[in-house]
Amino acid sequence: ALDLQSKALNYGSHHELLELVESKLVESNIDNVSVDSLVQLEEHLETALSVTRAKKTELMLKLVETLKAKEKLL
């Protein structure tokens, strides 16, 4: 998860990545977009998605721990 987070920091926020994808597709015809450019964008989006999933899992585990602690108090 830490490796994914460090990669995500290099790519920018999710919103910035989506804006980059949109600008690449709007600025040029789909025929003029290079395969390498699309592959790079795909990798950035996959990394962002992986980081988001890892963070969600982390938050869910913390919530479960909190609920278990509250249950023990009852």
pLDDT of 18: 74
Residues 11-21: tens digit of each pLDDT: 566 777 777 77
Does the structure show a pLDDT above 70 at 32?
no
Total number of domains constituting the chain:
1
Determine the length of the chain.
74
**Residue 27: pLDDT band by 50, 70, 90 thresholds?**
low
**pTM, whole model, 2 decimals?**
0.59
Mention every residue, 6+ apart, whose C-beta is less than 8 A from residue 5: 51, 54
Does the structure show a pLDDT above 80 at 53?
yes
Helices then strands, each counted (H, E), the chain: 3, 0
Average pLDDT in the chain: 78
Domain range enclosing 51? 1-73
- Whether the CB-CB separation of 44 and 13 falls below 8 Å is answered with no
